[in-house]
Amino acid sequence: MRKKVTVVGAGNVGANCALRLAGKELADVVLVDVVDGVPQGKGLDLLESGPVEGYDVNITGANDYGPTANSDIVIITAGFPRTPGMSRDDLLIKNYEVVKTATEQAVKASPNAILILVTNPLDAMCWTALQVSKFPKARVIGMAGVLDTARFRTFIAQELNVSVENVTALVLGGHGDTMVPIARLTSVSGIPLSQLLDQATIDRLVQRARDGGAEIVKYLKTGSAYYAPSSAAVEMAESILKDKKKVLPCAAYLEGEYGIKGLYVGVPVKLGAKGIEKIYEIKLQPDEQAALQKSAAAVQELVDVIKTKM
Ligand code: APR
């Protein structure tokens, strides 16, 4: 049977997720949005690219969840993006309401789906979706680390003038200003970064990765990034749909791992047909552990605000 992926939110991130899912022929795609005509129009437009691009999947759009029934994956991108000067956290209350409603409706139609959250502030939105869906934690996952890592890899490749394909990196922590790029475990074809760049340069690239989202917002002025975020979400979906068991940094619900309990934080996980099939608890240096705790504390603050709204 063909796989089915629902993308909630047919805006910039959502439409590009649909485009990439179709381009890789990963599944039939249903776009859902509250705005009348937008998911239908974008869905049809994407479908009509198929004959030229050579993909053969069905893409439809709707304002309700009927057509989404029994999706294998639901990617939630619905919500408001950042504008200049805003942090991801400034979106908290507005997007909490959106994610709550979207999750309620999506899981009613697809009780066995795996949820991939993209809406910001990401870690708090994952927590919301977990509570609302009552799904097992393995089936509620956040897209953050793949994007943050992709940005870090891009800057390293640029700095060294090497292929980005050779750069592997790890970013832990919340998807916010406190994210924790682990430079120690970053390498170029196995060569540790510390043997290729001096500390000041590494620090500069780490900071640029942390500010990577804001850098794009500053350019765009009316919204936030969507090409790289949609690539990242679709890499996660692909690993699940094909049961590839890729090890990717994702926002996962921690219950004691890394000393963090009851929160979503970015950590390396194995993504397969069951969702998160394993959380890797790697040994961190004291400064890295401290940075991760700081990042988790920032996520906790947002979750505490949501708890007062529930
Ligand atoms: N249900 C479905 N769709 C909704 C809902 C809802 N309850 N509320 C809003 N939307 C839709 C909007 O109508 C819009 O089409 O979500 C879409 C969001 O699209 P954009 O404004 O283009 O925002 P985008 O850039 O896609 O970002 C969406 O992803 O990366 C994050 O920070 C970003 O939180 C933001 C989200």
Predicted confidence (pLDDT) per residue in 265-298, tens digit: 999 999 999 999 999 999 999 999 999 999 999 9
- Ligand 1 touching residue 224 (CB < 6 A): yes
pLDDT > 70 in the chain, percent: 100
Whether the pLDDT of residue 236 is over 90: the answer is yes
Q: Which residues are catalytic?
A: 175
Q: What is the atom index within ligand 1 of the atom nearest the CA of 223?
A: 25
- Ligand 1 touching residue 110 (CB < 6 A): no
Which pLDDT does position 177 carry in this prediction?
Answer: 84
Which residue's alpha carbon is at the smallest distance from atom 20 of ligand 1? Answer: 11
Which residue ranges make up each domain of the chain?
Answer: 4-142, 145-307
Averaged pLDDT of the chain: 96
Whether the pLDDT of residue 197 is over 90: the answer is yes
Q: What is the atom index within ligand 1 of the atom nearest the CA of 226?
A: 25
Just give the CATH number of 4-142: 3.40.50.720
Which pLDDT does position 254 carry in this prediction?
Answer: 98
Tens-place pLDDT, residues 69-128: 999 999 999 998 888 888 888 889 999 999 999 999 999 999 999 999 999 999 999 999
- pTM assigned to the model: 0.97
Assigned CATH topology for domain 145-307:
L-2-Hydroxyisocaproate Dehydrogenase; Chain A, domain 2 (3.90.110)
Tell me what the mean pLDDT of segment 153-162 comes to: 98
Which pLDDT does position 87 carry in this prediction?
Answer: 83
Cα separation, 196 vs 284, whole angstroms: 22
Cα 110 to ligand 1 centroid, rounded to whole Å: 20
Tell me what the mean pLDDT of segment 166-181 comes to: 92
Q: What is the atom index within ligand 1 of the atom nearest the CA of 224?
A: 25
Whether the pLDDT of residue 309 is over 90: the answer is no
